[in-house]
Structures are given as structure tokens and as C-alpha cells.
Chains A and B, each alone.
Chain A
Amino acid sequence: MSDLETNAPEKIGRRKFLTASAATAAGAAIAPGVLLHTVAEAKPAGQAVSSKNRWGMLIDTNKCSKGCNACVSACNEENGLEKSDHPNSNEIDAQWIRKVELKDKSTGHSVSLPLMCQHCEHPPCVDVCPTGASMKREDGIVLVDKHICIGCRYCMMACPYKARSFVHEELFNQKDHAPRGKGTVESCTMCVHRVDEGESPACVEACNADGHKAMYFGDLKDENSEISQQLRKYPSTQIRADLGLNTGVRYRGI
């Protein structure tokens, strides 16, 4: 007891010192009022995600190349989505992200864009889920808790973007960071395992690496993030904005 008391002032002093030094280290100032931020600052592993952040994406369809599939293959690679060995399956069963081509019939103009879970603020999939497996994290990422998913697929029917897939067959050798299994519904997780480590999703990284730079990822609630600045500067669209879901994925050029 006496030990604790004598140590207490020193502990507080040390903690204060640490928080003070952490505050100075949090952002590198290049000019007064201008801060250089990484895409997402890594949170400590033991800290819960909070509603102070809302992760989102901006896709510039003007930069998205028609023949390019880099985001899709990066997603499949990252999350271990493979073609089934079943003789009747010709392609990968699960689609977390896919390329869609939109064509204006009157003019013939077409755009190509990646479509995935739009990480809605008011997700219909969460509304209809009978078990609470479909859920939205505090930071806006919509996920399926496969531990309690019963595979009823109501969420797949409710999703206006057809963003979810059902796993029909037994899987083997899933990735450590992306557990997947038969009888559950799954969809884009916005690479939640990477986001929690302060990295950006695999699709965004692949798009940048390919030199297209059509995808931005960042915190919609952080005014200084690149995505927020881009959204403020140029017009953008939510797909099916009429549904009032307030999607976390925004598009430019459609």
C-alpha cells in the first residue's frame, strides 16, 4: 500500500511526459496549420475502434481503366478467394469486388468502375439480419460476424448493390487474417485487418501501384484527410443516393 502511494506521483509524472511527447510526435508540421498525415494512423492493438473515424473510399471513374482488373485480383489474393475445385464451377464463387461497366445507351459513352460493399451508414443488410451477425463497426465498416451468421442470406437480398456472396462449399487453407467458411455470407471488409494496422485496403494499394490512382481511401470524418479534401473540392456521387443510405464509398465521373 505504502509502495503504491510513494510510487504514485512518479507514475503520473511519467504518464504526463509520455502523452506530451506523443502529442508532439502525432503529426509532423511542415508549415503552421498544415500537417502531414499518413492514410490512417495505426491505433494501438488494444484500443477499440471509435466513431471518431469513418473509413471511406472515393473512386474516380475517369481514371479507372476498362481492361484493368488489378483491384479485383488484389482483393482475391489478399483475402484468399480462390476458384473452387468443384468441376462445375468456372469462376471464383465469392465476389467481394467486381468491375462493372455502365453504358449510356443514348450516347454510347461507357464508364468502368469497381463495385463492392458500399459500407452504408444505414446498412439494409444490418436491418434485416435476424441474428445480429450483419453489423457495422463504430468506425463505419460493415462486416459479417460469421460466428453467428446462420447463412439465411436475407442480407444478400436486402443489399441494393449485390455486394454479398455466400460460401457454398467447404474451404481449406484460408488466410490467417481473413477467416471464411461454408454456410456463411461474406463481403468486402474494407480490408479491416489492414485498416486496423493503419494501412489502406489491398484494392486501393493495387490501383495506386498500377499507376491508375483511381481509388482513394481515408477517414471521411477527418477534414484534413486526402479523401475529405478531394470530396470537398470536386463533385462526387453515391450510387443509389435516393435510398438515403449514406454510403462510405463515393464515385466521381458517373
Chain B
Amino acid sequence: MKRIETIKAVVLAMLLGFCSMAGSLASAEVPTPDIPKGEGEKCVEPTDIMRKNHMEYLLHQRDETMRKGIRTKTYSLKECVDCHTVKDENNIPVTYKDKRHFCNSCHEYASVQIDCFSCHSSTPEASHSGLTKRPAKFFNSTQNLNALNLKAENQHE
């Protein structure tokens, strides 16, 4: 009887050990977004609340500003962008097209498209002058079109 109990105990211990190992393995395998830290000590609300409700704050502020001209800074998108700037290797703030952008770091992970930045600036205004007007792929397509136009003109001559 004693032997059986010992075997039981060993099996149980092994099972438990396996479970905890599997658990730690699983947590290591699940990728989590690498969210860059913002400037300053803390955000306008505690992190867990911001994580859950930031879109509500932004939506509310958007209508207040647009319709009533209320321009308080606490929940303004501009302030988010200013504090949560991520700089690239050349010390230039990255735009929302970059995976490292604060908003993008999580939105890409969650696969939720952000529409804000098709109109709003995704970098602080002070940094704008240092950026090219369009991303490289657009320049390429323009150059291609220009080349085509040139070709057409030459043929015409």
C-alpha cells in the first residue's frame, strides 16, 4: 500500500511539474506588444484605464473640440502624440506608418486599424520640417509616372 501511495505521489508531482512547465512555456511563446514608454511620470489616467478607454476619451474630446470649440489639453490627441513620440535611429520621430509608432505598436498587435492619422499628424509638429513630404514608395511611383510621361513626350516628337 505504501508503495502505491509513493507512486501516486510521484506521478502527481510529475504532472504538476509538467503543467507548470507547459504554462511557463506557453507564456513565453505568446508574443506581447512591445509598447514604448511615454514621456513624463504618468499618463492622464492610470495605464489600465487608458488601455481600455483611450478611444472613448478621444472620441468625446473630438466632438467637444469640433462642435463647441473646447480645447482642453488633457484628452487631446495632440498631447498623446507629443508625449508618446518614438524616435528612430536618426533621432527623428517615426510616423504612424512605422511599426514602432506608439499607437501602432499595440494596434498592429491587436489588428485594429486606426483612422486618426490619415488626417491628424502622428508626430509632434516641431519635427515636421525634418521629414520628407511623402514616403519613398510614393516618390517611386511618381518617378515611374514621370518616366512614362517623358517617354510619351519623346515618342510624340
Could you tell me the distance between the alpha carbons of A145 and B135 in the complex, rounded to whole angstroms? 27
Contacting pair A176 B138 (CB below 8 A): no
B: contact size bracket: 20 to 34
Contacting pair A170 B118 (CB below 8 A): yes
| With known contacts A172-B133, A175-B125, A180-B119, A45–B142 Cβ distance under 8 A | no
Partner-binding segment picked from B25-33, B42-50, B60-68, B83-91: B60-68
Contacting pair A48 B70 (CB below 8 A): yes
Asked if A76 is at the interface of the complex by the 8 Å CB criterion, the answer is no
From B68, B119, B149, give the contact of A146 (CB < 8 A): B119
Could you tell me the distance between the alpha carbons of A46 and B61 in the complex, rounded to whole angstroms? 11
0/1 per residue, B10-33, Cβ < 8 Å to A?
000000000000000000000000
From A145, A174, A196, give the contact of B121 (CB < 8 A): A174
From B64, B67, B72, B120, give the contact of A179 (CB < 8 A): B120
Could you tell me the distance between the alpha carbons of A61 and B121 in the complex, rounded to whole angstroms? 37
The main secondary structure of chain A at its interface with chain B is loop
Could you tell me the distance between the alpha carbons of A184 and B118 in the complex, rounded to whole angstroms? 11
From A137, A173, A175, A196, give the contact of B67 (CB < 8 A): A137
| With known contacts A45-B73, A179-B120, A173–B66 Cβ distance under 8 A | no
Taking CB atoms, residues of chain A closer than 8 Å to B67 are 135, 137, 145
Count A-B contacts at CB 8 Å: 69
Q: Would you give the shortest CB distance from B89 to chain A, in whole angstroms?
A: 20
Asked if A232 is at the interface of the complex by the 8 Å CB criterion, the answer is no
From B69, B118, B124, B135, give the contact of A139 (CB < 8 A): B69
Taking CB atoms, residues of chain A closer than 8 Å to B134 are 85, 172
Contacting pair B119 A181 (CB below 8 A): yes
Contacting pair A196 B69 (CB below 8 A): yes
Could you tell me the distance between the alpha carbons of A138 and B124 in the complex, rounded to whole angstroms? 30
0/1 per residue, B99-127, Cβ < 8 Å to A?
00000000000000000001111001100
0/1 per residue, A145-175, Cβ < 8 Å to B?
1110000000000000000000000111111
Taking CB atoms, residues of chain A closer than 8 Å to B7 are none
Contacting pair A86 B78 (CB below 8 A): no
Taking CB atoms, residues of chain A closer than 8 Å to B128 are 173
From B70, B125, B149, give the contact of A45 (CB < 8 A): B70
| With known contacts A147-B62, A175-B125, A176-B78, A87–B146 Cβ distance under 8 A | yes
Asked if A192 is at the interface of the complex by the 8 Å CB criterion, the answer is yes
Complex A-B: 26 CB contacts under 8 Å: A45-B71, A48-B64, A48-B70, A49-B69, A85-B134, A87-B142, A87-B146, A135-B67, A137-B67, A138-B68, A139-B69, A146-B119, A147-B62, A147-B66, A171-B118, A171-B119, A172-B135, A173-B121, A174-B120, A174-B121, A176-B78, A176-B120, A179-B120, A179-B121, A181-B119, A192-B69
Residues in chain A within 8 A of chain B (CB atoms)? 43, 45-49, 82, 85-87, 135, 137-139, 143, 145-147, 170-176, 179-182, 184, 192, 196
The 10 closest A-B pairs by CB, nearest first: A181-B119, A48-B68, A49-B69, A179-B119, A176-B125, A45-B71, A179-B120, A181-B118, A46-B72, A87-B145
